[in-house]
Amino acid sequence: METTTLTTRQIVGTFLDFYRERGHQLVGDATLVPPPGDPVLFTSAGMHPLTPYLEGRPHPLGRRLTGVQRCLRTTDLDEVGDDTHLTLFQMLGSWSLGDYPGEQSLRWGYELLRDGFGVDPGSLHVTVHHGDPGSLETWQRLGVPVETLGEDNWWSNGPTGPCGPDSEIFIWTGDGPPTGTPSTDDRWVEVWNHVMMRHRRHDDGSLTDLDRPGVDTGMGLERMAMVLQGRSSVFDIDLFEPWTRTVSSLWSPSKLVYDHLRASVVVIGDGVHPSNTGRGYVLRRLIRRTLTTLWRDDPSRTLLDLPPEPIASTVEHHGLRIDPLYVHDVLVYEERRFASLLRRGRPLIERLLLRGPLTEDDYCYLHDTHGIPRDLVEEVLTTT
């Protein structure tokens, strides 16, 4: 497809303006930390802060909403480093709280992609759930190729709660005319998901109809920017430029390092500090994975050398109320703590390895006697 010169900021503005012109009220960007009582460690989807309203509670701003929400997903950690997955990302969303149906959402989505973002309709392909004839017929009337799938097009935010069939929109990113389908060719990149929130799943797995069915859509900002800016990776978009330009001059380029440091900045900015439990443990793992990657090639590398510009840029972009220098101090303090643990743990582990591969008893001994958990043992072995 032809690319545009839209920046990530302009993409956000175009999206939000489109929906506000259609009667949607703007909701604020909530922090990554859900309110007390929410069992989820981090906000992982744009709809998460709106869950009570999707289940039927009246929203003070009305029944049509739009916004952009920062999200963090640790389930994708092993995929970070490819061209499309990030630990931290922003989700552009639109919501109908019992107002208009899913078919209207799809028609508006097509209009925004075609007229607002300049996407060639010939570069689109969609998938729908086999039990959602309304979505299928809508796309067929619009002339967009459709692939009908099963559980891949059923969305839920967990084992219980609101759920329903979804329609995923893909854009062709390959050279030449589009070929295949989204399930057969990974050059089709998913950019937007429209979920028809029609059901509630209960503890026993059963489904009941929601009293007020709604629509929840989510567009990954960084992935959409990758497509519109004609980049081959989300790490090549304008949002990552302060990271790739400054960090690559220090250390050999690593997508995982860019990703984990950027995510750590926002997690710290939302009030989380490294610890051995909960959210703090997730942050600690992000920082340690970064350091393990850096030290694997050169043990002398240090976060002390990390320049202030990418941290400050990330703080500003997300509207965080925190001093970038403080964020840097947290990262460096955690590095020193990790380095101390490695110095203490490595000789212990090396002595055990003289007898052969580590056993479960060895892992228990290291944890119970020396306070070295299994994940740290594995990091010691990785950096040895």
181-207: pLDDT as tens digits: 999 999 999 999 999 999 989 999 899
Residue 335 CB neighbours (<10 A):
21
pLDDT tens readout for residues 312-341: 999 999 999 999 999 999 999 999 998 888
Q: According to the model, what pLDDT value does residue 98 have?
A: 94
What fold does the segment set 8-232 form as a domain? BirA Bifunctional Protein; domain 2 (3.30.930)
How far apart, in whole angstroms, are the C-alpha atoms of residue 48 and residue 29?
11
Q: What is the pTM of this model?
A: 0.89
Q: According to the model, what pLDDT value does residue 381 have?
A: 65
Among 7-11, 102-106, 209-213, 310-314, the minimum mean pLDDT is found in: 209-213
70-97: average pLDDT? 86
Find tokens 């960084």 and name the residue.
Answer: 222
Q: According to the model, what pLDDT value does residue 384 have?
A: 57
Domain-by-domain residue ranges, the chain? 8-232, 238-383
* Pick from 42, 46, 50, 29: nearest CA to 161: 50
- For residue 346, what are its two tokens? 């490595």
Q: Which residues pair with 72 in a beta bridge?
A: 88
C-alpha distances (whole Å) from 94 to each of 62, 88, 108, 356 are: 13, 20, 10, 56
Q: According to the model, what pLDDT value does residue 303 have?
A: 97
Identify each DSSP E strand in 18-57 by its residue range.
25-26
